[in-house]
A = this chain, B = another copy of it.
Amino acid sequence: MENFIAYNPVTLHFGKDILATLGTTLKEYGNRVLLVYGKGSVKKSGLYDQLVQDLKKQGFDISEYGGIKSNPVIEDVDAAAAIGRENHVDVILAVGGGSVIDSSKIISVAIPVENKAWDFFTGKTKAKTAIPLVAVLTLAATGTEMNPFAVVSNHALEQKSAFGSPLTFPKHSFLDPQLTLTVPRDYTAYGIADLIAHCFEAWFGSGEATLTDRFVISIVKEAIEYGPKLLGDLQNYEYRAKIMFAATMALNGTTMYGRSSGDWGVHSAGHCLSLLYDVPHGASLTIVYPAWMRHFKEHVGSRIAQLGSGIFNEPLTADESIDRIEAFFKSLGCPTRLSDLNIPGDLRTPIFESMVHTRVSGANMKMTEEDYGKLIELYM
């Protein structure tokens, strides 16, 4: 086991009608709320109207920023931070999925400073204080609700980068699985894929940690058992709850105890596809992961076989494991080849260039330009 520090101060409120206590929680921080949300689903579902009405009734002073994109961009973060700054907000209320909550984490550290928010990603500005962040999650996928990490794109620089500090944990996250009942089938599937990919990134990281391995297998098994059931019954509360909880556990630190790093090479490669073609994050991962495992099989073959045997509960070779994982992603309706997305034109060159530009690599399996070329061929 590697030495590690476990720290996760998020208060997670999970369950049916759990938003009943949201106002009480916000009140701990003050009266002036910056409400941050996305491109319309919270308005369509009625959640926006209900929340604003409830909070106004409780005397909150609400300013807002809507329109965070599903692959969030730094311009929205800057614009939202400016509104928060002008309104001297006491607390940020992020209502949405990973993109809204990730953006809000950066907004929370950007409000107290005058700098551009991208400076946090480059290290030019250090986060020193943060406006408290309370999150209401509407999509089970990224795990952002219980970790300090944020991934945001900068199209001017053609980069999609991650930032996180002890300041960017949400103070509270509210997870009512009922709020995910309206998520369509494809995005439900991408969320399941995303949580599985998070488990894999931990699994292929550095450091032997047997109990943590068991936790990883547990989370993936839960997703393999209940993911397909949920896709066959999208209105089922229990299945929604199981997947929502699994997504949280997949990236709240539990999969990393006793490891010195996760790998994250696949996420890094997947970000290029999102950046270039707006591929949904989860879909980018189901395209890249089988290819990555095939490419690095020589180095991590025994680990792949151990993973496959664990999650499918039968002895499998590395090749069999990869085939089964790919088949599972397909069964969810996720793409496993870039060609599944029918994007027209020459793709190899821009993807390769983007990988070079963003220096795609993993902490454990380092990647060279030769790897980029081979990886792209394997998922074309």
Contact = CB atoms under 8 A, between A and B. Distances in A.
Contacts of A349: none
A14 B4 contact: yes
A82 interface: no
A249 interface: yes
Interface string A251-280: 000100110000000000000000000000
Given A210-B225, A211-B246, A254-B254, 12 more contacts: A1-B238, A1-B245, A4-B15, A5-B11, A5-B14, A9-B9, A209-B245, A210-B242, A214-B218, A214-B219, A217-B218, A218-B218
Contacts of A209: 245
B214 A222 contact: yes
Interface size class for chain A?
Answer: 35 or more
Indicate the member of A4, A18, A146, A221 with the most B CB atoms within 10 Å.
A4
A1 B242 contact: yes
A158 interface: no
B15 A6 contact: no
24 contacts: A1-B14, A1-B245, A3-B14, A3-B15, A3-B16, A4-B14, A5-B14, A6-B10, A6-B11, A6-B14, A6-B146, A7-B10, A7-B11, A7-B12, A9-B9, A14-B258, A210-B222, A210-B225, A210-B226, A211-B219, A215-B218, A217-B218, A241-B258, A245-B258
A222 B210 CA distance: 8
A13 interface: yes
A28 to B, nearest CB: 13
Interface in A1-51: 1-16, 18
Contacts of A226: 210
Contact of A222 (B211, B219, B242): B211
Contacts of A10: 6-7
Contacts of A221: 214
- Counting every copy of the chain, the complex holds 2
A241 B4 CA distance: 12
Indicate the member of A7, A8, A211, A225 with the most B CB atoms within 10 Å.
A211
Nearest to A249: B211
A242 B7 CA distance: 19
B242 A211 contact: yes
B257 A245 contact: yes
Nearest to A2: B15
Contact of A211 (B3, B11, B13, B218): B218
A144 B257 CA distance: 18
Interface in A136-168: 146
Nearest to A166: B11
Contacts of A12: 5-7
A254 B3 CA distance: 20
Contacts of A254: 254
A11 B211 CA distance: 19
Contacts of A241: 1, 258
Contacts of A258: 14, 241, 245
Contacts of A218: 211, 214-215, 217-218
A4 B249 CA distance: 14
A241 B1 CA distance: 7
Pick the 7 closest A-B CB pairs, nearest first: A3-B15, A214-B218, A6-B12, A7-B11, A211-B222, A1-B241, A9-B9
A245 B246 CA distance: 21
Nearest to A5: B13
